[in-house]
Amino acid sequence: KNQVEQSPQSLIILEGKNCTLQCNYTVSPFSNLRWYKQDTGRGPVSLTIMTFSENTKSNGRYTATLDADTKQSSLHITASQLSDSASYICVVSSLSGGYNKLIFGAGTRLAVHP
């Protein structure tokens, strides 16, 4: 069964600290992996998209890694800011039969405190 599992479920850190969010997946065939940020009451916004051949991609203070062998990804946030408080969603894409089906993780809810 195609699944995406994220950990931790929630996380509280102090402003300025770093953190790492985890994503494990069992999706086949694998097309790409995405990380989204979703602010409360808003739609998700894409942070990174990685294909099978990419093992790291950065977007400002966000760095995503992908290990396609172990089917694991992480999102590292450096020097956190209050505005980083949001849910972070890992999404794995499976391209099958011409359809790009996305399997969503439940998200990690991050709270950055001053």
Partner 1 sequence: GAGVSQSPSNKVTEKGKDVELRCDPISGHTALYWYRQRLGQGLEFLIYFQGNSAPDKSGLPSDRFSAERTGESVSTLTIQRTQQEDSAVYLCASSHRLAGGPHEQFFGPGTRLTVL
CB of 5 to partner 1, least distance (A): 11
Task: Give residue 99's identity as a one-letter amino acid code.
Answer: Y
53 lies in the site for partner 1, by CB under 8 A? no
End-to-end CA distance of the chain: 41
Non-local CB neighbours of 82 within 8 Å, separated by 6+ positions: 15, 112, 114
Does 89 interact with partner 1 (rule: CB under 8 A)? yes
With respect to partner 1, which residue has the nearer C-beta, 7 or 46?
46
Site residues (vs partner 1, CB under 8 A): 31-32, 34, 42-46, 49, 51, 89, 93, 98-107
